[in-house]
Amino acid sequence: MRILIWHGYLLGGTGSNVYTRALAHEWSRLGHDVTIVCQDRNRERYDVGDALVVVPELPSGLLPVFVLDEYEGLRPKLLQDFTDEEIDAYVAANAAAIRELLPADRVLVNHVLLGGAVGAAAGAPFVVKAHGSELEYSMRGNERLSRLGADALERASAVYVGSAHIRGVLEDVVGHVDRVYEVPPGVDVDEFVPDDRTTALAALIAEAERDDPDGDARHPDPGNATRFAEFFASEAPTVLYFGKLIENKGVQVLFEALRGLDARAVIVGFGDYRDELEALAPPGTLFTGALEHRHLVHLLPLVDVAVVPSIFPEAFGMVAAEAAAAGVPPLVANHSGLAEVAAGIAAEYPQALRHLTSFENNDAAMLHERLAELLALPADERRELGLSARCAVEKRWSWARVAEQLLS
């Protein structure tokens, strides 16, 4: 089968970037002919199987984004600030790139906007994957964009959402949509696996030694190899956060919850809130900058709990599922798509410990209590919880299962 994936952004990072490269890898592994249309000019850095990567030129270098960030060689601009003329030019350029690659058996576009509009303009049958960021950060409350999104989705063969929460958000933002199917994102259960501490630490340090010492804020901090060796020389209780460093992700709630706990934190990610977080961080907190999956698969086995403290709705709890796959108990804010992940993991826990998967949104006191209870468990019991969490991932969220569902 020939499959085209349109993705307006990069292949590294989190969210829809992970989604794109994971699907490309899985479909390629299954023998399909896959092409990704995106803005990443460093395909060699990522495992996308045998997929071809095509990078269309953008008019005036303008890239519509939902959260402002830096993109080398491009001019990011909030989608809601794009003029109609800029939207038309962007859609036309990307639709032309798709048309040059036709025919295809499947065309999947990421994000209701501007992916849906690109798919509609390309002139071939297409399906849309709604990720949620476009809906919450750019489209909600914007009549112009909501109307544009609704028009595009009317022409889609199917619309995929990652959770019941995002199905509801989609209807709130664009109105009723036909042919909507819930297919959660996936986790690479062969990449994220439990590992022993000695092996994991050696591998993490080796990966950090490969990092570019001159990388920008989107890359790992220089000197991480030395810091990892020093930090993990002791086995103190450790809590991990990985994701964007923006206020909506709630890392400040985690820091408040850590007060008075005999635990330290590792904070992975980049974003414009980093300086404020460093000022709020408890003593001993390790900031690493952005890390890739090649780091995270080795970092996760070194920690005791992974916390997802987002105070803003999330389409799905991908980072929680990745932690669970590595055998690390996740603890997430009990709302939106995060709550659905927590429920799936809790179903595999002993009844008496199911509450240790989540805490109420923005409730640092409850997070403190849950962390204290988790970290007080004997190591063997906490390890069993982690393996139960991995079982939930294998049953519900492997990429093989997701790829199969999307093609069926």
> Radius of gyration over alpha carbons of the chain, in Å?
21
Nearest to 42 by CA among 66, 72, 14, 69: 72
What is the DSSP-derived secondary structure letter of residue 36? E
Closest Cα to residue 74, out of 61, 86, 87, 65? 61
Phi–psi pair at 347, nearest 5 degrees: -60, -20
Please name each of the domains of the chain with its CATH number: 2-183 (3.40.50.2000), 197-397 (3.40.50.2000)
With left for phi above 0 and alpha for psi between -120 and 50, is residue 273 left, alpha or beta? alpha
pLDDT string in tens for the chain (408-residue length): 999 999 999 998 778 998 999 999 999 999 999 999 999 999 998 999 999 999 999 999 999 999 888 888 999 999 999 999 999 999 999 999 999 999 999 999 999 999 999 999 999 999 999 998 999 999 999 999 999 999 999 999 999 999 888 999 999 999 999 999 999 888 989 999 999 999 999 999 999 999 988 878 788 999 999 999 999 999 999 999 999 999 999 999 999 999 999 999 999 999 999 999 999 999 999 999 999 989 999 999 999 999 999 999 887 888 999 999 999 999 999 999 899 999 999 999 999 999 999 999 999 999 999 999 999 999 999 999 999 999 999 999 999 889 988 988
